[in-house]
Structure 1
Amino acid sequence: MEIKEDNIINIHNFLPHREPMLMADYILELTKEKVMTSFEIKKDNIFVHHDEFAESGLIENLAQTCSSILGQSFFENPEADTKVIGFITNIKKIEIFALPKVGSTIISKASLISQFENICHIFCETFNNDELLIRAEINLFIQEVKS
């Protein structure tokens, strides 16, 4: 997939994560029901072992990708100092097929299956070019942290 600069959405508007735990670089597409992100695997990433992005990194990338769907309602006003916290409440099904190497740019896609208030059930997949790396169904919970 070609990443076009004019289609990129600032990930910081939809995720509270920051370095070193930010596992998505760009939002390439975002609606109320689906999201697509990209992430370049760098050598200094905390989930890189022996020049491969570990399973735990793939899962965190998926969780952050998925949380963009639910998190967008908290970050509608970019000037607001909104703080949120989110949790994976359940991994219903997960299949890991391959691990990407350092230097790869992975594309993650997620689709909302169902949502009740701040809890959602999402189907997600991550690809390296056309190779499917991981597929999962996860449940997430996100809430605003009051100061």
Structure 2
Amino acid sequence: MLVTKEEITQYIPQRPPIVMVHRLLRADDAELRTGFDVEPDNVFVENGVLMPPGLVENIAQSAAVRVGYLAKQRNEPVPIGYIGGVSNLEVLELPAAGTSIETLIAIEREVMGATIAKGSVFQDGRLLAECEMKIFVPQK
């Protein structure tokens, strides 16, 4: 594990109660894997399951962790990025409160501060949801 729950807010701009990533498990230039525990009191949990907006936010924050982690590796401040679009969202299953999910972010393209990433959420090896995100990080 590269980053723990106690350290994660050093890599993302979000703060409780909207933190949707608890662990950075793996990271490189092309891929990143995070872990998240679906807590029953999470703002996106309804009727005992994490709702689709929570899955999308988890994917977005996982992408943000990548940007923050790479910035810290270069001893730079963590930048704030913006979601420019979400496409091809498919939700196959909603994770129950009290369980954990893993999210894989695969970078498809990066051009002039814009990143196209595919996010996939898994639980116990099953694909729960996936989408493509356009993310913009202002250039210095």
Q: What's the secondary structure of 2:81's corresponding residue?
A: strand
Contact 2:67 2:78 in 1 (8 A): no
Q: What's the secondary structure of 2:80's corresponding residue?
A: strand
Amino acid at match of 2:32: V
Instruction: Encode CA deviations 1:28-76: one digit per residue, 9 max, x unaligned.
Output: 0011111000000001110011111010000000011122233334333
In the TM superposition, 1:26-41 aligns within 5 A as: 26-41=23-38
Amino acid at match of 1:97: L
**Which consecutive aligned stretches of 4+ in structure 1 deviate over 6 angstroms post-superposition?**
none
Distance in 2 (alpha carbons) for counterparts of 1:23 and 1:94: 18
Contact 1:65 1:110 in 2 (8 A): yes
Partner of 1:64: 61
Cα offset for 1:124? 1.4
Distance in 2 (alpha carbons) for counterparts of 1:117 and 1:99: 35
Amino acid at match of 1:9: V
Distance in 1 (alpha carbons) for counterparts of 2:37 and 2:60: 16
Select 1:92's aligned residue among 63, 82, 87.
87
* Number of residue pairs the alignment of both structures matches: 137
Amino acid at match of 1:68: V
The unaligned stretches of length 5 or more in structure 2 are none
Partner of 1:19: 16
Distance in 1 (alpha carbons) for counterparts of 2:85 and 2:47: 29
Q: What's the secondary structure of 1:75's corresponding residue?
A: helix
Shift of the 77–20 alpha-carbon distance from structure 1 to 2, 3 Å rule, reads: farther
Percent of pairs with identical residues: 24
Structure 1 residue 126 and structure 2 residue 121: aligned? yes
Output the aligned Cα RMSD: 2.1
The unaligned stretches of length 5 or more in structure 1 are 1-6
Distance in 2 (alpha carbons) for counterparts of 1:50 and 1:19: 21
Distance in 2 (alpha carbons) for counterparts of 1:74 and 1:118: 13
**TM-score, scaled relative to structure 2:** 0.87
Partner of 2:39: 42
Instruction: Encode CA deviations 1:111-132: one digit per residue, 9 max, x unaligned.
Output: 1000013210001100111221
